[in-house]
Amino acid sequence: MAKYLLLKHYRGAPAPANDVPMDQWTPEEISAHVRYMNDFAARLEETGEFVDGQALAPEGTWVRYDGAGRPPVTDGPFAETKDLIAGWMVIDVDSHERAVELAGELSAAPGAGGKPIHEWLELRPFLAASPTVTDCPHR
């Protein structure tokens, strides 16, 4: 019982094997890709492992505090930002092995030519709730 975040990047991930930008695919290939993603999420709901999935727009704004009584400062987007997150899926699984297995499956989503993209996905464990019986005796 552990939650993991599967992160999909617009940029910043290593190049995938089937590295053709989506706007160069055929409309059918795009449909097949979207269907694969939806089916994957539906299957996870069935197995009782799905928590959340969202996609993000590529454009974002940087915001920061600018002192009391002043409106926040906004800036960007910065083109040089190396890492750009495209979306995520949160899963709740029994083991790290299962999380890796599912990430591998998601990475097989079809792209150009109907072939798997082999896209690199980032797999990040959530920090868990604090256990009641601690393993550490000096606590």
Partner 1 sequence: MNEALLRSLTPSVLAILVRRGADFAAAEDAVQDALVEAVRVWPADPPRDAKGWLVTVAWRRFLDATRADAARRRREDLVDEQPAPGPAPSADDTLQLYFLCAHPSLTPSSAVALTLRAVGGLTTRQIARAYLVPEATMAQRISRAKRTVSGVRFDQPGDVATVLRVLYLVFNEGYSGDVDLAAEAIRLTRQLAARVDHPEAAGLLALMLLHHARRAARTAPDGSLVPLAGQDRGRWDTGLIAEGVEILQAALARDRLGEFQAQAAIAALHADAPTTEETDWVQIVEWYDELVRLTDSPVVRLNRAVAVGEADGPRAGLAALAALDASLPRHAAVAAYLHERDGDPATAARLYAEAARRAPNLAERDHLTRQAARLNALGRR
Neighbouring CB atoms inside 10 A of 131's CB total 8
Contact 21, 96 (CB under 8 A): no
CB of 12 to partner 1, least distance (A): 21
Nearer to partner 1, 27 or 131 (CB): 131
Residue with smaller CB distance to partner 1, 19 or 52? 52
Q: How far is the CB of 38 from partner 1 (least distance, A)?
A: 15
Q: How far apart are CA 110 and CA 31, in angstroms?
A: 10
C-alpha to C-alpha distance for 80 and 34, rounded to whole angstroms: 29
Residue 111 CA to residue 48 CA, distance in Å, equals 27
Q: Which amino acid is at 120?
A: W
Closest to partner 1 by CB, 48 or 67:
48
Residues in touch with partner 1 (CB under 8 A): 1, 3, 45-52, 92-94, 127-133, 135-139
**Three-class SS state of 104:** helix
Cβ-based nearer residue to partner 1, 103 or 117? 103
Q: What's the min distance (Å) between Cβ of 44 and partner 1?
A: 8
Smallest gap from residue 133 Cβ to partner 1 (A): 5
